[in-house]
Amino acid sequence: MSWNRCSDLLVSTLALLLVASLVAVPVAAISASADGVPNRQQVGEERRASFTLNDLYEDGTQEFTLRGQTELEAANWRVRFVQLNGDTTSETFSGSSFETTVSAADNVERVEVRVTGEAPAVENFTYDPAQSFEFARLAKVVGDNVNTVDTWDVVHYTEASAEAREAIDAADAVVADTNSEQSEEQLDRAIRAYGTGDFELATDLAEDAEATARQSQQSSQTTQLLLYGALGVVALVAVVGGVLYLRGRSGPSDPLS
């Protein structure tokens, strides 16, 4: 093989490696921040949250479709486009989703999305992890490529489920400190009842589990006190016995000595 052919092969290999390295570099994603997203939301309760999108064109895409989705009921959206000079334009949508175009040609520097809606009903209750719904999902769409910017999930609950969860949480904290199989079984039954949506039963079982666990703790403490008391009596008897034994070995004292 001639030097020229080796040189050409080397150059081609280096070029392929350079292209591969460029392809492997991850593209910069849109950055998103949220304000007002609740940790928990009662079914039927209306809440509002805002999301700010920056770094819109960091991957080189100058125009894309912004898609928003939510499982909130009676949802309303407001999308505000903030331009480089500070001017703003807004669009409003209603329903579970929206799509709008974001373009660098319009000098859009930042996008602010606001969604308002009510927490949906719970289809399946779960204790751990707690049941949740998709409060909002924002995605960047270019052609057939859909890249999720971020997703925000929120726990939803009813008044009855919240009371049952509080009872289970309280029982769990006490049961964890005991070795009572009975209280553990009651707690497991409470969690299963919670999963079926029978919150009254779940609450009753959780309270029973907590009561059983506390009784077990008290019994254990009483047993320990009795044990310590018995050991104390044995120690006292041993001391007294030892003293009497030593006195007995020394014999009576001589009054003339």
DSSP E strand stretches across the chain: 31-35, 40-42, 46-54, 63-69, 73-83, 88-94, 97-103, 108-118, 132-142, 145-157
Is residue 126 in a domain? yes
Task: Establish if 104 belongs to a structural domain.
Answer: yes
pLDDT of residue 239: 59
Shared domain for 50 and 148, answered yes or no, is yes
Buried b (16+ CB within 10 A) or exposed e, 8-19: eeeeeeeeeeee
| Backbone angle region of 107, left / alpha / beta, with phi > 0 → left and psi within -120 to 50 → alpha | left
Cβ partners under 8 Å of residue 88, min gap 6: 80, 81, 82
Nearest CA among 111, 138, 116 for reference residue 36: 116
CA–CA separation, 118 vs 111, rounded Å? 23
Q: Do both 37 and 133 map to the same domain?
A: yes
Please compute, for residue 108, the number of CA atoms within 13 A of its CA located in the half-sphere on the CB side: 25
Q: Which of 112, 140, 157 is the last residue of a domain?
A: 157
Q: Say whether 35 sits in a helix, a strand or coil.
A: strand
164 with 196, same domain?
A: yes
Q: Which residues pair with 48 in a beta bridge?
A: 116
Cis peptide before 129 (omega within 30 of 0): yes
State pTM to two decimals. 0.74
**Residue 76 near residue 100 (C-beta atoms within 8 A):** no
Q: How far apart are CA 145 and CA 60, in angstroms?
A: 15
Residues 149 and 30 in one domain: yes
Quote the DSSP letter at residue 120.
P
- Tens-binned pLDDT, residue by residue, of the chain (257 aa): 444 444 454 445 444 444 444 443 334 489 999 999 999 999 999 999 999 999 999 999 999 999 999 999 999 999 999 999 999 999 999 999 999 999 999 999 999 999 999 999 999 999 999 999 999 999 999 999 999 999 999 999 999 999 999 999 999 999 999 989 999 999 999 999 999 999 999 999 999 999 999 996 775 545 454 444 445 545 555 555 555 556 666 655 555 44
Asked whether residue 46 is assigned to any structural domain, the reply reads yes
Are residues 38 and 151 located together in one domain of the fold?
yes
Residue 31 and residue 138 in contact, taking contact as beta carbons nearer than 8 Å: no
For residues 36 and 144, membership in a common domain is answered with yes
What Cα–Cα distance (Å) separates residue 214 from each residue in 26, 66, 181, 192? 56, 55, 13, 22
Rounded to 5°, the CA angle 239-243-249 comes to: 145
Give domain status of residue 91, yes or no.
Answer: yes
Domain containing 168 equals: 160-216
What pLDDT sits at residue 251? 56
Number of domains in the chain: 2
Do 103 and 212 fall into the same domain? no
Residues 138, 53 contacting (CB under 8 angstroms):
yes
- Single-letter code of the amino acid located at 2: S
Give the length of the chain: 257
Pull the structure tokens for residue 101: 């175009």
pLDDT in tens, 74-108: 999 999 999 999 999 999 999 999 999 999 999 99
Q: Does 191 lie in the same domain as 145? A: no
